[in-house]
Each structure stands twice: as structure tokens, then as C-alpha cells.
Amino acid sequence: MSTTTQSFIHRFEPATAPGLPPLLLLHGTGGNEDDLIPLGQAVAPGAALLSPRGQVLEAGMPRFFRRLAEGVFDEADLRRRADDLAAFVAESRDRYSLPAPIALGFSNGANIAAALLLLHPETLAGAALLRAMEPLRTPPRPDLTGRNVLLLSGAMDPIVTAENGRRLAGTLAAAGAQVEHETLPTGHGLSQADLTLTRRWMARQPAG
């Protein structure tokens, strides 16, 4: 059920299996709080799911932060929105009695998840980033020791270059994260391989 009682319109699905880390589901441009629920259920059956709707509108399509052009981010807005999202996660952890979640983000949602790791590392236990690009031109160097990150790129992705994906993987690894980066023979859209690899990776994550 969607609710607006906190800072973000969101949907929360309680856990139905014990010991699983909750997932923070972050949709792509034009998505909403319902979009990634099926993916979350598929990759982590029984986990609690927290799925907010992005608060920025671009031509009527929800996003998590503003961009100036394709692949060119409004970094001041990105930083402010990352602050807001981190605060929402903290509120939600209190309200729903959750441990730190693992982010599962696609495209714009993966980019805000990467920003959370860099700007608010305490917010997330880890992240699965599907078609993410480096969110900040001069990223900070937080301590991401103990954070596991899955980064899945598309070899034919017209939005995220191969070099950008490698750079993000390097940035996170340099901060101490354990990064698994794979490039799939696909474009920007998700494939069955994304689901399979993410499900396998999720099964290896520590209990929540």
C-alpha cells in the first residue's frame, strides 16, 4: 500500500521470511513506487521492500534528482535529494523497525543509490546498481568497508558508456566496497540476466 505520511510517497511491503536484509527499491525515470516491487520480490523472496517515488518531475515523469541533459546531472540538486532520501530511509527504519537496507536501483534510481553510498554511507548496507553511472564529477572518499556492491552494465547501453561504468566501479572499490562489476550483452533496459545475477548476489548477502 502506498502512503504519504512521510517525506516521500512510498510503498512498504513487510517481510514474510526472517533474517533477510530489506531492500530499498529505487525506480528509473518515469517510474513510481510500484515499478520495482516485482523485481524486488523476484530477487529477494520474502524480504521487506521499501519503495519511494522520486520527487522531481521531468516532463511529468518522476525522477530522484534533476538533470541538465542526458547524462549531465544537476549536482547541487543531486546532493540535496540524496540528503532528503537518506533522511527518508532513517525515518522509515524507525517507523518499520528495519535494519539498514540494500538498495536495488535501476538507471536514475541506481544513480541516486550510488550517490547515497558516497554521500551517506551509513544509510545503506550495500547496493545492486543496474545501469548506473558515476553521479559526481569529484566524488568524496567515504569508508565503504563492509559494503557489497553489484554493478551491472550494458555493453550496448546508449546512455552509460563502458568507461563511465568502470569509473564508478573503481570509485566504490577505492572507498573500500567489495564491488562485483559485470557487463552484459544488452542495452539500457533490463534483461533476464540482470534478474538472475541479482538474485544470486542477493542470496549471498548477510542477514538483515
Residue keyed to cell 547501453 = 157
What does the pLDDT look like over 111-165, one tens digit per residue?
Answer: 999 999 999 999 999 999 999 999 999 999 999 999 999 999 999 999 999 999 9
Task: Decide if 175 contacts 144 (C-beta within 8 A).
Answer: yes
pTM of the model: 0.95
- 68 band by pLDDT with thresholds 50, 70 and 90: confident
φ, ψ dihedrals at 184, nearest 5°? -100, 155
Candidates 46, 37, 20; CA nearest to 125 is 20
CATH no. of 2-203 = 3.40.50.1820
Which H/E stretch holds residue 154? strand 148-154
The C-alpha cell of 175 is what?
Answer: 572507498
What does the pLDDT look like over 18-55, one tens digit per residue?
Answer: 999 999 999 999 999 999 999 999 999 999 999 999 99
Catalytic residue list: 107, 157, 188
